[in-house]
Amino acid sequence: MNPTQSPADKISSSAPDWIHDLVIYEIATKAFTSPAGPESGTFDSLREKLQYVHDLGVTGIWLTGHSLADATHFYNIWTQYACILPDELDPTLGDAAAFKDLIDCAHELGIKVFLDVITHGVMASSPLIAEKPHWFKGGTWGMVDYDWSGGHRDLDDWWVEVWSSYVEKYGVDGYRLDVATYRPDLWNRIRQRCAAAGHPIVVFAELGPAYAGASDFIQWGERLSLNHGFVQDSPLLTDVASYMQRATAPKTSGFQVVIEYSDGSTASNQGQASFQFALQEAGELEKQQTGPGGVGTYTVREITLQITGAPVGRQISNITVTHPMYHWPWKISGNTAADFTVTVEGEAPNLRLILPLRLPTGSYLSVQLSCHDNGWDGTPLDQNPYAAQGSRFVFGYAFLLTPAVPLFMAGEEFDADYRPLPQHSPKLFGGELFGQGRWLYASWLDWQQLDERRHAAMLEDVKRLIAIRRRFSHLIRPLRVGHTAAHLLPIGARTDSPAPVPYLYWNSDECLLVAGNPNPAAELSIHFTLPVEVLGWEAGTQFTVTDLWHDVAEQVIDAENFAKMTHTLRSDKTPRGGLLVLHLQRHR
């Protein structure tokens, strides 16, 4: 079997083939360009900047700004997330013709376009509320929420019509679902209608779980940064191959359950607790579900845990289940992460816990370097909310060269110095310190920074990384849950200082070797040991080595002598630093 293929490739997927080549670039429409000053970006001004996006190598833009929205609700700036009417374009961005021109131009340049869908509700000022009051119930984020569980067939049909029409009328290629999926049956219907119209789409939700038949991956798959900063302990910074192999075949064992009681006591199956109980891991199940009337089919993947011996006579206030790759609470505030919650059945001493898994079999892995939520309320006002901040190691080893769909925010590619929009407040609902916030959505991109050597050099290095990913897309493909990842290996190495584990993509004729140096103050020397037995090579097998990162001429060598070679990785955060990317082409 070709190592780039696996049993998971046979799993049916509604995603179009171009998902394998996606590099997603998030754009806040009003701040990406400034034709008439701050917050003046439009569909037309973005269209004029698409050649830059194409030259960067990006293949998909996540457009966080298209429909009618409030100009001050979040952080005192215009945001897509303060949605008023999802089916009406915001006139400050442009009209239908300008929107269509933008998408057509993107397609001419080989760029897919994803719209941001605000799934939970609309602003209280929305005329939808007066027109269809039965569609709404409760509220979050200072807005009014859709009543997704109310059985409103007219709401369901309207939702399907709105998002199908953007595809049929304008040629939109897919959607990012803000917060959560909520109604996977409706997204299954939307996908089926778009596919029937000859335009299959890709859908990804912010939070999990993903649903086969409704979404392809989740934005918050693996994350290198969170709302308040960089994830220093991300496993992607130390051993990409081993972690990704685990992610494709996650073990459904080793759960810790903590029951919290109203009197402050706890019970747990592990560690120190006031009580103990027995936990039986009852197994994993994939099941088909449909929406109202049997319309809209999708797949849910769940784990069931059976608890015996839980203390009786005490009021349970919460139950939390943790696992090395998962986390589920029972009760949370609001409904913004409802898909993560535990379903609890029965009564003490016997309880049954049902846990939704983040990714069903066949779902794609993704990795997020940064998104608009970086720099959230509470971020220090002297902090740069971008994640990489000039690190070629992070951008390459841990992000663009990993076997996952990559997503990052505009400005990362040239190590932008953060410049907030003048009206941006650091408070979620605004009101003070205008021009001092750190929310990345409010990054007012200053393209003149590219006249400075530091920024221009970072841009060229990111371009090279994306070009490498695209050139070797037959090896660097987003993995799927259920994939054996046989073509991805951690490899042995000797270094003169601690370093991340190098990784190798391979097939019978070639290898792509990636190593990283996260140290911005020192070079790294490294010797590699090729796993020739796994590759099916012999010690005397000759191959051509090309240093893709430093653009060094080809060299013919064999595995034995390759192990004797000393390779130098320049210090991180310098031009062509932080990385080594070698291509090994076998001679037959």
Q: What is the pLDDT of residues 424-478, one digit of tens each?
A: 999 999 888 899 999 999 999 999 999 999 999 999 999 999 999 999 999 999 9
Give the pLDDT of residue 133. 98
Give the pLDDT of residue 6. 41
Question: Looking at the DSSP assignment, which residues form a beta bridge with residue 569?
Answer: 524
Q: How confident is the model at residue 205 (pLDDT cuts 50, 70, 90)?
A: very high
Give the pLDDT of residue 339. 52
Neighbouring residues of 435: CB distance < 8 A, sequence distance ≥ 6:
420, 421, 422, 423, 424
Read off the pTM: 0.93
The total number of residues shown for the chain amounts to: 588
pLDDT in tens, 339-387: 567 889 999 999 999 888 888 888 999 999 999 999 999 999 999 999 9
Least Cα distance to 531 among 500, 562, 554, 552 occurs for 562
pLDDT at 275 over 70: no
Provide the b/e sequence for 545-584 (b: ≥16 CB within 10 Å).
bbbbbbeeeeeebbbeebbeeebebbbbbeebbbbbbbbb
pLDDT at 330 over 70: yes
Least Cα distance to 332 among 318, 316, 321 occurs for 318
Separation in Å, CA 76 to CA 33, 91, 141, 278, 429: 19, 19, 14, 51, 7
pLDDT, averaged across the chain: 92
Label each residue of 178-189 as H, E or C: ECCCCCHHHHHH
In 378-421, DSSP assigns E strands to: 405-409
pLDDT at 28 over 60: yes
For the chain, domains (ranges, CATH) are: 7-124+160-247+361-471 (3.20.20.80), 251-356 (no CATH), 491-586 (2.60.40.1180)
pLDDT at 5 over 50: no
The more confidently predicted of residues 378 and 328 is: 378
Q: Is 542 exposed, middle or buried (0-12, 13-18, 19+ CB in 10 A)?
A: middle
How far is it, in rounded angstroms, from Cα 198 to Cα 153?
26
Mean pLDDT of 120-146: 97
Mean pLDDT of 392-419: 98
Least Cα distance to 252 among 331, 347, 337, 328 occurs for 328
Strand ranges of the sheet holding 343-347, from the earlier edge strand across to the other edge: 278-290, 297-308, 350-356, 343-347
